[in-house]
Amino acid sequence: MDQAKNFTKGFIRENPVFALMLGLCPALGTTTSAYNGMGMGLATMFVVIMSNIVVSLIKDFVPNKVRIPSYIVIIASFVTMVDLGMAGYMPALHEQLGLFIPLIVVNCFVLGRAEAFASRNTLGSSVVDGFGMGLGFTLALTMLGASREILGSYALFGFQFIGQDGMLVFILAPGAFIALGYLIALTNKLNK
């Protein structure tokens, strides 16, 4: 497959959140601000790249019957690394994302990439795929976080541009569903 196409497919056309509706739990649960969304996206991107590398390296040795459990263990090990690393170096962000860091392990999008792509392709294209898809996921979470932050607290990445309280509902749970609904409608329009 053409590597450039392989890299960019995750941005809009096969975007994990907007087009495939995968990984919705962290996408809605952590995007109260653009910064949190980006942090979650980058953490997931690390896991997806690393697990794609390992899965594509071991794909010839793993018996077919136990492949899913072995992929899950590989993913879980990288998630533990991210969890401990973030707790050590970015305690404030780690506190904000909370439960959703260990839950990267059950993010269907990460396991989906391992099963659908990395277990069938070479190391090189698996890395490119993990990088592109991870970037698409980060992009989606940052966009969702940014739109919720702009509407909910009239700010972007913490810089407030109107000196008053925003529409609080977009920071709370209902706003997450509604903002994602409109962003998906927008992506559908762009995909046509």
Residues that bind other proteins (CB under 8 A): 21-22, 24-25, 28-29, 68-69, 72-73, 76-77, 79-80, 83-84, 99, 102-103, 105-108, 111, 169, 172-178, 180-182, 184-185, 188-189
Q: Please give the single-letter amino acid code of residue 120.
A: R
Nearer to other proteins, 8 or 77 (CB): 77
Nearer to other proteins, 6 or 109 (CB): 109
Please, what is the minimum distance in Å from the beta carbon of residue 143 to other proteins?
15
Please, what is the minimum distance in Å from the beta carbon of residue 181 to other proteins?
3
Please, what is the minimum distance in Å from the beta carbon of residue 183 to other proteins?
9
Nearer to other proteins, 6 or 147 (CB): 147
Please, what is the minimum distance in Å from the beta carbon of residue 102 to other proteins?
5
Nearer to other proteins, 106 or 156 (CB): 106
